[in-house]
Chain A
Amino acid sequence: MGDYVRQMPHQGSDDMARPPSAAMRFHIDVPLLLLLMALTVYGLFVLYSASGQSMAAVIRQGRYFLVAYVIMILGAQVSLQRYMRWAPWLYLLGVGTLLAVMFVGVGAKGAQRWLEVGGFRFQPSEIMKLVVPMGVAWFLADRILPPRAGYVLGALILLGLPALLILQQPDLGTALLIAVSGLFVLFMAGIGWRYIFGAVVLAVASAWPAWMFVFKDYQKQRILTMLNPESDKLGAGWNIIQSKTAIGSGGWQGKGWMKGTQSQLDFLPESHTDFIIAVLAEEYGLRGILLLLSIYLLILLRGFWIGLQAQTGFGRMMAGSLTLTFFVYIFVNMGMVAGLLPVVGVPLPLVSAGGTSVVTLMAGFGMLMAISTEKRMVAR
């Protein structure tokens, strides 16, 4: 940790007056850490109930969290400089593994998403959620911002290539998330509003051809089901009808911990993974939802704050992109469970059971902490 390069302009700070605390020495952003811990503890309570009072599920998830916190803290120790230096190589490695998946990957349910190395299975697209914004941020970091058209195009190619590779796995949800995380970098880099509006217009205009030629039948079905779940009550509509029922029947107060009938009696599908928010809504009511959203909002605001405090373009863009991507998870998951968005496989960040997304997200927060301590270390 000794290789901080003091190249940033000096800024006056109160930090200078105090000796470095332990948190600062280990590059920990204490407010963010506390918020994350609050979130994960809250999530474990919901999980206990959602998994049918399975202590084993809670312990398994707790173990994931433990690993994820360790990765976050380790990630926080890496200097931003190093992240930036690694970014292009990580990017190339990522694209390489995606290509490998294409040719030698293993799959399930008609999708080829995994790579097996020495009996160890991993999903390269998951890592790309961090690597793509890093690549784009690296590409734009030394440019004059807002970037000129040519660099915007370059950035689009950087984010588009892996997105397309993932799209053909096929995994529309992840492809979109990865593309969006790259686009957030561009947004935070300050690309002109005309690009943004142009993109929005293009997206709307391409909706029809996409529907006709790109979307697979199962994807169309999901969208149709979201629009009218009653059309297929026992099939695809079942999930969404049951999750809306679970949420709605929770009311303001909720039915009480472990007393949600929809979830406890198995009416709610995927109750401990993608649809866990419905369990929370049913058992804790709107109160519980507002509490969760408050924690999320504070985490998001802390993320933006870190970005505002960042000293380098790379750090700023990464902080903005990581924070906005985190938000997209929240919005997409809560929207889909409440019937606002089609059902896509997006977990509720740090609450849904599962290890992969937790590790990726916490690695992101590790990077965010690295960004947050950068300026203070620099200031020192």
Chain B
Amino acid sequence: MPQYIALKDPLRESRIYSARTIGAIILVVGLLAVIVVRYHSLQITEYENYRTQSDRNRIQLQPLPPKRGLIYDRNGVLLADNRPSYILSVVREQVPDLEATLVELQALVPVSDSDLEKFHKKLTRRRPYEAVPLRFRLTEEEQARLAVNRYRLPGVVVDAQLLRHYPHGELFSHALGYVGRINEREVLMLDETQYRGTFHVGKVGVEKYYEDILHGEVGYQNVESNAHGRVLRVLERHAPTPGADLTLHLDIRVQQAAVDALGDRRGAVVAIDPLTGGVLALVSAPGFDTNLFVNGISSVDYSALRDSLDVPLFNRAIQGQYPPGSTIKPIMAMAGLESGLVTPESTVADPGWYKLPGDRRKYRDWILRIRGTGHAPRVDMNMAIAQSCDVYFYDLARRLTIDRMYEYLHPYGFGTRTGIDTTSERPGILPSTRWKREAMAQPWYPGETLSAGIGQGYMLVTPMQLAVATSVLASKGQRKTPHLLQAIDGQPVAPPPLEPLIAKQENWQEVYKGMREVVHGKRGTAKYLAKGIEYEMAGKTGTAQVIGIAQNAVYNEDEVAERHRHHGLFIAFAPIEAPTIAVAIIVENGGGSSAAAPIARAVIDTWLLGEAG
């Protein structure tokens, strides 16, 4: 020690130490200043930012999805309602071992591979403590199994959600349409605010057309929640406005009667109340269970529907375009009478065929191949309608010309969409020289006028258009836009009336007489309908060729393939004195009108007499 003491210089050491202390103090104060600057910048300069951020953390705006409006038929029968559906979800943060839990859950409830795939996808893009759905639509038994095992499955949640349900899924499939999960394309089109918290949207039909009314107004609540997502209290709440309930003109009894009468045949039935334009029945067969679509249809089910030869997803009533065949004749008769080209008394010679002047081709009447002759030596209008004489209307069409035919037929609603309140309606074709020039860049040939006169050739109508035209006939020119909606939340609504079709009273009566003969006459083409009938029905049969028949070939129903058989059509209204129902029916490949006419009887019986056809 002593030798060191001699060398140490306490004063110098003390001085150095003091200098170092001052250096240390400068360092300390300088770095503390850095800290102060940092906290100042966070707490003062960026205060607003962080304040907002912390509120956003704490306060969550939760959407309160509105309850979708219900849909009733005219009798108050529920056609679309909302039912609680149970969803199995997993909160990742509360699950100790995800793999083990998933294995356990799969033992309790069936979980498909696609469910699992969606679950894992969603799992990577969730907020902490957000419940990720694993299985939808749990059955009661599955719920019970989960409930029993809940104690050993932490982080497994079963939630309820209201889901659309169609109690009469298949019966109203084409009349109502359906809702489905919002897809990526729809996300872009829908109002983001209104659809927060809503997973479904109307996809087709009434469900889509009245989406805005059915959806309602989204509500929201501000909730304070902790980092685990648990809601601690509701700060502010704006209740959602539920969607309005719709009452439709549809009558479940009439709809059922139509479906029953069609049986397993393909076709369409449309019934309209001529007084209001309200659609009483809208059937396209085959239908499908709309409930399949509500929560995502399985690919197996979907391809079955899509690939079926019967195209069940195709709404024949408004999308199907068929030649009207002879069902056009009463309207042609109106055109003849109104134009003055024919009178009730005027007659046409009927050898069973018709020739254009200077043309050797024979335009044959359908009766020719049955009787080998015409309906009668001379045919008047009444007989022409009752017995569906082609020659009479060939002559009328020729004299009327195609463009005047267009003028007279257009007000009945042909060649344009009827404007019914549902989706994907097609316009059909009402040909004219102008139409052919524009659509086909070809001139009109005189022979084509004759075909048009009996509802063949280029003319195409939808069953809806045919029903509307029948309704115009039945109401003596009162034109109404056909519509399904009768009332919103009990408040009646109706589309604005269209300009009426003005025609002479006696002309209507004359046509009615002919149509009455169809059913009630001795030689009416649908006289078999009159058996046991309790009211007077006006009708008109029709047959539409599916394949062209060569000039001299004979159509033999038994020999042609089922799908090449003629379509059977029938239009009718009743009671004749004061019609309350007008129907149009098509049975695809039904062979002839006799396939369709009994359906009209069944539908009208149900409507007028209240009995199931």
A16 CA to B312 CA in the complex, in Å?
111
- Contact at B58–A307, with CB atoms within 8 Å? no
Indicate whether A281 sits within 8 Å of B43 (C-beta atoms), given known contacts A188-B20, A293-B36.
yes
Of the residues B17, B21, B24, B43, contact of A248 by C-beta under 8 Å: B43
Contacts of A290 in B (CB 8 A): 36
Which residue of A is nearest B15, CB measured?
Answer: A190
- Apart from A335-B34, A338-B42, what are 19 other A-B pairs with CB-CB below 8 Å? A9-B10, A144-B4, A145-B12, A190-B17, A234-B128, A244-B42, A247-B42, A248-B53, A251-B47, A261-B55, A262-B57, A265-B224, A267-B226, A285-B43, A286-B44, A300-B28, A308-B18, A327-B28, A340-B34
**B24-36 CB contact bits vs A (8 Å, 1 = yes)?**
1100110110111
A binding-site residues for B, Cβ under 8 Å: 9, 142-146, 187-188, 190, 234, 238, 242, 244-252, 261-262, 265-267, 281-282, 285-286, 289-290, 293, 296-297, 300-301, 304, 307-308, 313, 316, 320, 323-324, 327, 330-331, 334-335, 338, 340
Contacts of B19 in A (CB 8 A): 190
- Contact at B51–A265, with CB atoms within 8 Å? no
Contacts of A187 in B (CB 8 A): 20, 24
Among A142, A286, A301, the most chain B Cβ lie within 10 Å of the Cβ of A286
- Contact at A249–B51, with CB atoms within 8 Å? yes
Contacts of B54 in A (CB 8 A): 245-246, 248-249, 261-262, 267, 282
Among A242, A245, A307, the most chain B Cβ lie within 10 Å of the Cβ of A245
- How far in angstroms is the closest Cβ of chain B from A26? 27
- Contact at B13–A145, with CB atoms within 8 Å? yes
Closest 5 CB pairs of A and B: A248-B50, A249-B54, A190-B16, A265-B226, A266-B227
| Chain A CB within 8 A of B436 CB | no
Contacts of B24 in A (CB 8 A): 187-188, 304, 320, 323-324
Among B4, B8, B32, B228, the most chain A Cβ lie within 10 Å of the Cβ of B32
Contacts of B94 in A (CB 8 A): none
5 contacts between A and B (CB under 8 A): A144-B4, A248-B43, A281-B43, A304-B24, A307-B17
Contacts of A143 in B (CB 8 A): 4
A235 CA to B29 CA in the complex, in Å?
34
Contacts of A307 in B (CB 8 A): 17, 21
- Contact at A251–B16, with CB atoms within 8 Å? no
| Chain A CB within 8 A of B121 CB | no
Of the residues B17, B38, B57, contact of A338 by C-beta under 8 Å: B38
- Contact at A247–B39, with CB atoms within 8 Å? yes
- Contact at B43–A286, with CB atoms within 8 Å? yes
- How far in angstroms is the closest Cβ of chain A from B48? 9
Which residue of A is nearest B23, CB measured?
Answer: A187
Contacts of A297 in B (CB 8 A): 28-29, 32
- Contact at A281–B58, with CB atoms within 8 Å? no
B binding-site residues for A, Cβ under 8 Å: 1, 4, 7-10, 12-14, 16-21, 24-25, 28-29, 31-32, 34-36, 38-40, 42-44, 46-47, 49-51, 53-55, 57-58, 127-128, 224-228, 232
A244 CA to B57 CA in the complex, in Å?
13
- Contact at B21–A247, with CB atoms within 8 Å? no
A285 CA to B42 CA in the complex, in Å?
10
Contacts of A293 in B (CB 8 A): 32, 35-36
- Contact at B46–A267, with CB atoms within 8 Å? no
A324 CA to B29 CA in the complex, in Å?
11
Contacts of A304 in B (CB 8 A): 21, 24-25
Which residue of B is nearest A293, CB measured?
Answer: B32
A168 CA to B55 CA in the complex, in Å?
43
- How far in angstroms is the closest Cβ of chain B from A321? 10
Contacts of A188 in B (CB 8 A): 17, 20-21, 24
- Contact at B43–A252, with CB atoms within 8 Å? yes
- Contact at A146–B16, with CB atoms within 8 Å? yes
A338 CA to B36 CA in the complex, in Å?
11
Contacts of A261 in B (CB 8 A): 54-55, 57-58, 224
Contacts of A334 in B (CB 8 A): 35, 39
- How far in angstroms is the closest Cβ of chain B from A204? 18
Contacts of A234 in B (CB 8 A): 127-128
Contacts of B50 in A (CB 8 A): 244-245, 247-249
- How far in angstroms is the closest Cβ of chain A from B486? 51
Indicate whether A331 sits within 8 Å of B32 (C-beta atoms), given known contacts A234-B128, A320-B20.
yes
Indicate whether A340 sits within 8 Å of B38 (C-beta atoms), given known contacts A142-B4, A188-B20, A267-B226.
yes
Among B18, B20, B226, the most chain A Cβ lie within 10 Å of the Cβ of B20
A234 CA to B128 CA in the complex, in Å?
7
- How far in angstroms is the closest Cβ of chain A from B14? 8
Of the residues A242, A245, A286, A320, contact of B21 by C-beta under 8 Å: A320
A247 CA to B227 CA in the complex, in Å?
17
Contacts of B20 in A (CB 8 A): 187-188, 190, 320
Contacts of A265 in B (CB 8 A): 57-58, 224-227, 232
A146 CA to B16 CA in the complex, in Å?
8
Among B31, B35, B49, B58, the most chain A Cβ lie within 10 Å of the Cβ of B35
- Contact at B16–A308, with CB atoms within 8 Å? no
- Contact at B21–A249, with CB atoms within 8 Å? no
Among B17, B25, B47, the most chain A Cβ lie within 10 Å of the Cβ of B17
A250 CA to B46 CA in the complex, in Å?
11
A301 CA to B25 CA in the complex, in Å?
8
Contacts of B227 in A (CB 8 A): 265-267
A267 CA to B1 CA in the complex, in Å?
60
Contacts of B1 in A (CB 8 A): 142
Which residue of B is nearest A249, CB measured?
Answer: B54
Among B9, B53, B55, the most chain A Cβ lie within 10 Å of the Cβ of B53
Among B32, B43, B44, B228, the most chain A Cβ lie within 10 Å of the Cβ of B43
Which residue of A is nearest B225, CB measured?
Answer: A265
- Contact at A266–B228, with CB atoms within 8 Å? yes
Contacts of A242 in B (CB 8 A): 57
Which residue of A is nearest B54, CB measured?
Answer: A249
Contacts of B16 in A (CB 8 A): 145-146, 190
Among B21, B31, B49, the most chain A Cβ lie within 10 Å of the Cβ of B21
Contacts of B32 in A (CB 8 A): 293, 296-297, 330-331
Contacts of B40 in A (CB 8 A): 286
Contacts of A245 in B (CB 8 A): 50, 53-54, 57
Contacts of A248 in B (CB 8 A): 42-43, 46-47, 49-51, 53-54
- Contact at A338–B39, with CB atoms within 8 Å? yes
A67 CA to B575 CA in the complex, in Å?
104
A242 CA to B14 CA in the complex, in Å?
47
- How far in angstroms is the closest Cβ of chain B from A372? 14
- Contact at B39–A267, with CB atoms within 8 Å? no
Which residue of B is nearest A335, CB measured?
Answer: B35
- How far in angstroms is the closest Cβ of chain B from A242? 8
- How far in angstroms is the closest Cβ of chain A from B9? 8
Contacts of A251 in B (CB 8 A): 43-44, 47, 51
- How far in angstroms is the closest Cβ of chain B from A290? 7
Contacts of B127 in A (CB 8 A): 234
Contacts of B44 in A (CB 8 A): 251-252, 286
Contacts of B43 in A (CB 8 A): 247-248, 250-252, 281, 285-286, 289
- How far in angstroms is the closest Cβ of chain A from B152? 26
Indicate whether A190 sits within 8 Å of B13 (C-beta atoms), given known contacts A144-B8, A267-B226.
yes
